[in-house]
Amino acid sequence: MNNDELIQRIEKLEARNKKVESDKAWETSWARRLSIMMLTYGVVVFYLHFVVHIDPWINALVPVIGFFLSTLTISLLKTYWVERRTKD
């Protein structure tokens, strides 16, 4: 393998690592959480209003709050899981 090939491989690896880091940052970002919460709220409001025919504005908060709490809980569980896994 010559120097040019090696440099190309390193550049590809660095580009891939940058993309993976960006994807990981998005997965844990508040922007992602808030966008999912807003989309969930909109879908549930639509469903409750047009399908179930009840006042949706407060009732639609239930799944949104559930999602939000699950993101907090999952982070704690992940931390615990990683710590236990790295002890071995």
Task: Kindly state the greatest CA–CA separation across the chain.
Answer: 70
At 27-72, the pLDDT tens digits run 888 899 999 999 999 999 999 999 888 888 999 999 999 999 888 8
The model's pTM is 0.69
Looking up tokens 């966008």 gives 35
Contact 48, 56 (CB under 8 A): yes
**Residue range 62-85: mean pLDDT, rounded:** 86
Question: What is the total count of domains within the chain?
Answer: 1
**How far apart, in whole angstroms, are the C-alpha atoms of residue 88 and residue 78?**
16
Contact 45, 60 (CB under 8 A): yes
- pLDDT given for residue 82 in this prediction: 82
Most confident option among 15-19, 67-71, 78-82:
15-19
Which domain, by its residues, includes 63?
A: 3-87
Q: Tell which residue, 76, 69, 24, has the closest CA to residue 84.
A: 76
